[in-house]
């Protein structure tokens, strides 16, 4: 990894297959993230998927991913793990917890197939009910990643259900109790049980950090955004009442603060 006065980041933002939006406005998210990196004096390289990851990791101290479909393969996971263990930091956002999905007979939704990248990231996306408003509780307000967001904040976003992969090694930062506002009828048929639920049977994890060698991984489930072009290829759904353009998480002060904190934390020099 390059030792520079000003740190570098590698940003991956894109959908699958190549050129597809996969229901997300990656141009908007990419621009917001690049602006935040620039405001923090972090230089950045940009890609649409993980194809050339090995080329950019050695000159980067931070990897930021906002993807809907792309995920690192086995060889890229090996390179990513080595880079993390040497001190790199991975900030995964929103659909980064997804990846390869398989069809399930008789169901509209697909099931996320667990791969090596989920073990490295620390979670796997299961499903999400429609967009809604919910309260996010700050489980750990002492960590630099949650500085300045208070004890709780309101969010309008896709209410993610994620399955933690290594609870013992995970420092949970943010949780939410969706209550009746976000109920999924598909999670049990898809996966056999709702493994996103915590031990109290109500709350779900929406943000965490975990150490990997000298480096680590931070994941925030927030960040959905779409516009008419990004949704043009979707099959019509009579039950879909989402607005044509949606950017609410990115217009939420708490999310911007979390991203700024994550950039500073991920690029900080450590002994």
Per-residue pLDDT tens, the chain, 271 aa: give them. 444 578 999 999 999 999 899 999 999 999 999 999 999 999 999 999 999 999 999 999 999 999 999 999 999 999 999 999 999 999 999 999 999 999 999 998 999 999 999 999 999 999 999 999 999 999 999 999 999 999 999 999 999 999 999 999 999 999 999 998 899 999 999 999 999 999 999 999 999 999 999 999 999 999 999 999 998 876 666 667 789 999 999 999 999 999 999 999 999 976 5
Crossing angle of helices 253-267 and 26-39, in 10° steps, is 60
pLDDT at residue 1, as a whole number: 47
- Domain interval for residue 117: 8-267
Q: Is residue 25 part of a domain?
A: yes
How many separate domains does the chain show?
A: 1
Query: What is the CATH number for 240?
Result: 3.40.50.880
Q: Is residue 60 part of a domain?
A: yes
Q: Is residue 44 part of a domain?
A: yes
Q: Is residue 2 part of a domain?
A: no
The dihedral built from the CA positions of residue 205, 242, 191 and 120, taken in this order, carries a sign that is negative
Do 81 and 54 meet the contact criterion of CB atoms below 8 Å apart?
no
Do 265 and 89 meet the contact criterion of CB atoms below 8 Å apart?
yes
Q: Is residue 36 part of a domain?
A: yes
Instruction: Tell me how crowded residue 81 is: count the other CB atoms within 10 A of its CB.
Output: 18
Q: Is residue 3 part of a domain?
A: no
The pTM score is 0.95
Q: Is residue 209 part of a domain?
A: yes
pLDDT at residue 147, as a whole number: 98
Q: Is residue 1 part of a domain?
A: no
Residue 134: what are its φ and ψ, rounded to 5°?
A: -155, 160
Instruction: Tell me how crowded residue 55 is: count the other CB atoms within 10 A of its CB.
Output: 12
């Amino acid at each position: 990894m390059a030792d520079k006065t000003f740190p570098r980041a590698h940003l991956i933002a894109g959908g699958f297959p190549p050129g597809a939006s996969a229901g997300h406005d990656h141009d908007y998210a990419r621009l917001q993230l690049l602006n935040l990196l620039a405001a923090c004096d972090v230089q950045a390289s940009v890609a649409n998927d993980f194809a050339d990851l090995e080329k950019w990791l050695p000159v980067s101290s931070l990897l930021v991913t906002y993807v809907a479909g792309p995920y690192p393969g086995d060889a890229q996971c090996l390179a990513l793990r080595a880079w993390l263990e040497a001190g790199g930091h991975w900030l995964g956002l929103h659909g980064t917890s997804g990846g390869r999905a398989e069809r399930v007979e008789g169901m509209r939704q697909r099931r996320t197939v667990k791969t090596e990248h989920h073990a490295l990231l620390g979670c796997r996306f299961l499903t999400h009910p429609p967009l809604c408003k919910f309260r996010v509780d700050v489980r750990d307000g002492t960590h630099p990643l949650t500085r300045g967001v208070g004890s709780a904040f309101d969010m309008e976003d896709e209410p993610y259900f994620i399955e933690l992969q290594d609870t013992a090694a995970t420092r949970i930062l943010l949780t939410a109790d969706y209550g009746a506002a976000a109920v999924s009828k598909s999670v049990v048929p898809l996966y056999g049980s709702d493994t996103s639920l915590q031990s109290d049977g109500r709350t779900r994890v929406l943000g965490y950090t975990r150490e990997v060698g000298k480096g680590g991984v931070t994941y925030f489930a927030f960040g959905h955004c779409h516009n008419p072009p990004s949704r043009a290829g979707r099959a019509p759904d009579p039950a879909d009442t989402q607005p044509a353009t949606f950017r609410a998480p990115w217009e939420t002060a708490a999310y911007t603060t979390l991203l700024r904190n994550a950039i500073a934390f991920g690029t900080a020099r450590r002994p």
